[in-house]
Amino acid sequence: MADERLRTLVALYGVEDLLSRGILLVDDDPSNIEVLREFLDQDYVVHLATSGTEALHIAARVDLDVVITDQRMPEMTGVELLEKLRDSKPDVAGVLLTAYTDTPALMNAINRARAFRFLKKPWEPSEVQQVVAQASDHVFQRRAIERLLDLLSRRTTELAHRSDELAGTIDELRGAQEKMLHLERLGTTGRLAAGLAHDLRNVMVPFVYLESELERAGLADPVLESVQVGMAGFRNLLETLETLRGFARGSRMEVKMETIEPGAVIRDAVAIARMDLAYRERRVSVRVRDGLPQIDGDRYKLTQVLINLIRNAVQATAPGQAVIIEAAPGFPGEVLFAVEDEGPGVPGNMRERLFAPFVTSRGESGTGMGLYMARLIVEEHRGTISCFDRAGGGTRFEVKLASSPAAPAHPHFPA
């Protein structure tokens, strides 16, 4: 629903007092919040707190639209504060002051605290003012939709002869609300990905030089291979961040098609996944059938899919439990990639939403975008990705891709 349409409905139904102009600034360093206050208090009602506990007390007493909080505070972090406020004041927009190096905190801010924005230190006054204005507009839209939903739901019974019209308006508003929240989280994720990609490129510069010098020096193969695998992991992560950033901006996914061996995708994914200590604590079996036909695909992006499935399997299992990674023939003209584990399985109530955005099957330690991005990549390759209960317990993910038209049809079916 367009903003103009929403504002027309607000005026039509007399919905008022949607914004209080109240802003709460939270930082354990009083000098920091005083600086913020100086260029906000002319346009907003500003409240100050030097701890999460104090902020919660203030939030219980006053009307707020936006909370801007530092992440690194004693006793209660910014994410923990926003998470508590999400329960008591779900319509307040939370802004987190942090650095992109606080990646775990940012993941939690997206999933647990539903942070509206991140502000990277050092911030600029104009940037803060712009974010506050955008947050206020977001809060206005959310409150307007919720107020209208409540109002129209009550009037449906009073105006039975117009129930079809009202029901349509209610459905439209609910759809607008879901779309608005989805797009906002998507935008937040895209901005996070852009910042991480920028920082990662800077970190990679000396390592790219080191890799080049080691190759030129003719270093022993085991050492050089370790460096090359590590750099492949860096490049794959950067590719993942760029894919996520492009998707969040609504850009079409760029797929660089080439004819590749299925076993090469497995090898790339396993080489990168092995850098995780938790991977090495599992009983991992890698099975690549002989004589598999080639496939047409983007090697980097298909490797992203496999890495994501492998990491999910590792997270779902305990040390010593089994993880199986395989490439095998599927139906004629298909190649099957599979990753399975003997973990607890995916809860039934999550199965239908597993490949939707912002859904985490293993708690809320990630962005909830991994399986969704995997699905988008697979579908861009005109393939399918599925999840099944594994015989004997656990989960099995399968990716099916067409073999290259130039490849001979394989006569076998999967066992």
Residue 265 lies in a domain: yes
Angle CA 354–302–220, to nearest 5: 130
Res 158: pLDDT? 54
Instruction: State whether 165 and 16 are in the same domain.
Output: yes
Domain tally, the chain: 2
Instruction: State whether 24 and 144 are in the same domain.
Output: yes
In which residue are the tokens 């090359």 written?
Answer: 228
Contacts of 195 by beta carbon, 8 Å cutoff, 6+ apart:
100, 118, 120
- Can you give the chain as a three-state secondary structure string? CCHHHHHHHHHHCCCCCCCCCEEEEECCCHHHHHHHHHCCCCCCEEEEECCHHHHHHHHHHCCCCEEEEECCCCCCCHHHHHHHHHHHCCCCEEEEEECCCCHHHHHHHHHCCCCCEEEECCCCHHHHHHHHHHHHHHHHHHHHHHHHHHHHHHHHHHCHHHHHHHHHHHHHHHHHHHHHHHHHHHHHHHHHHHHHHHHHHHHHHHHHHHHHHHHHHCCCHHHHHHHHHHHHHHHHHHHHHHHHHHHHCCCCCCCCCEEECHHHHHHHHHHHHCCCHHHHCCEEEEEECCCCCCEEECHHHHHHHHHHHHHHHHHHCCCCCEEEEEEEECCCCEEEEEEEECCCCCCHHHHCCCCCCCCCCCCCCCCCCHHHHHHHHHHHCCCEEEEEECCCCCEEEEEEEEECCCCCCCCCCCC
Residue 242 lies in a domain: no
Res 351: pLDDT? 73
Res 410: pLDDT? 47
Res 386: pLDDT? 92
User: φ and ψ at 370, to 5 degrees?
Assistant: -60, -55
Instruction: Identify the segments of the chain with pLDDT beneath 50.
Output: 1-2, 160-161, 362-367, 409-415
CB count in 10 Å sphere of residue 29: 11
CB crowding 154-187: b at 16 or more within 10 Å, else e: eebeeeeeeeeebeebbebbeebbeebbeebbbb
This prediction has a pTM of: 0.51
**Which CATH number belongs to the domain containing residue 360 in this structure?**
3.30.565.10
Instruction: State whether 7 and 127 are in the same domain.
Output: yes
- Quote the CA–CA distance of 252 and 288 in Å, as a whole number: 32
Instruction: State whether 272 and 385 are in the same domain.
Output: yes
Instruction: State whether 184 and 329 are in the same domain.
Output: no
Compute CA distances 197 → 124, 222, 235, 236, 288, whole Å.
Answer: 21, 29, 10, 11, 33
Instruction: State whether 155 and 262 are in the same domain.
Output: no
Instruction: State whether 149 and 40 are in the same domain.
Output: yes
Instruction: State whether 277 and 167 are in the same domain.
Output: no
- Quote the CA–CA distance of 13 and 307 in Å, as a whole number: 51
Contacts of 128 by beta carbon, 8 Å cutoff, 6+ apart:
36, 39, 40, 68, 119
- Quote the CA–CA distance of 115 and 95 in Å, as a whole number: 6
Res 264: pLDDT? 92
What is the domain range of residue 299? 258-402
Residue 356 lies in a domain: yes
Residue finishing a domain among 193, 210, 233: 193
Residue 219 lies in a domain: no
Instruction: Give the CA dihedral 314, 317, 320, 322, nearest 10 degrees.
Output: -80
Instruction: State whether 167 and 74 are in the same domain.
Output: yes
Residue 114 lies in a domain: yes
- Quote the CA–CA distance of 245 and 145 in Å, as a whole number: 28
- Quote the CA–CA distance of 335 and 327 in Å, as a whole number: 7
Instruction: State whether 167 and 274 are in the same domain.
Output: no
Residue finishing a domain among 193, 226, 241: 193
Residue 361 lies in a domain: yes
Residue 266 lies in a domain: yes
Instruction: State whether 322 and 175 are in the same domain.
Output: no
Residue 133 lies in a domain: yes
301, 257 contact by CB (below 8 A)? no
Instruction: State whether 167 and 83 are in the same domain.
Output: yes
Res 62: pLDDT? 93
**Which CATH number belongs to the domain containing residue 112 in this structure?**
3.40.50.2300
Residue finishing a domain among 154, 172, 193: 193
Res 47: pLDDT? 94
